[in-house]
Amino acid sequence: MGIIHVEVCAGTHCTMMGAMNILDAIHSLEELQHQMENPCDIRVEAVPCMNLCREQVHGPFVRVEGELISHAESESVMAAIMARCQCRNA
């Protein structure tokens, strides 16, 4: 089973702009495992402020397998994870 590492910034600005909801959305993907052709082990970590918002206020920030998503929303993060789920094991 493929592993996908996801880091969600849990700094003040990102939390205010919905980081906890993004975490919930990522956890909610567990329920969809049975619908995936190639289920993945999604490992989520809440990380301290990435200090990206100081220059460009475009939080929340999420990294999916190292790739940065700025202005992250539940839908963009879920889509990025789901896309990888399928690519990786294809």
Choice between 14 and 40, CB closer to other proteins: 14
Least distance from other proteins to the Cβ atom of residue 5, Å: 16
Question: Whole-angstrom Cα distance, residue 68 to residue 14?
Answer: 14
List the interface residues with other proteins, window 8-67 (CB under 8 A): 10-13, 15-24, 46, 48-49
Is residue 89 within 8 A of residue 40, CB to CB? The reply is: yes
Does 82 interact with other proteins (rule: CB under 8 A)?
no
Is residue 82 within 8 A of residue 29, CB to CB? The reply is: yes
Choice between 12 and 89, CB closer to other proteins: 12
User: What phi and psi values does residue 72 have, to the nearest 5 degrees?
Assistant: -65, 145
Least distance from other proteins to the Cβ atom of residue 18, Å: 3
Name the burial class of residue 28, with classes exposed (0-12), middle (13-18) and buried (19+) by CB atoms within 10 angstroms of its CB: exposed
| Interacting residue ranges for other proteins, rule: CB under 8 A | 10-13, 15-24, 46, 48-49, 73-74
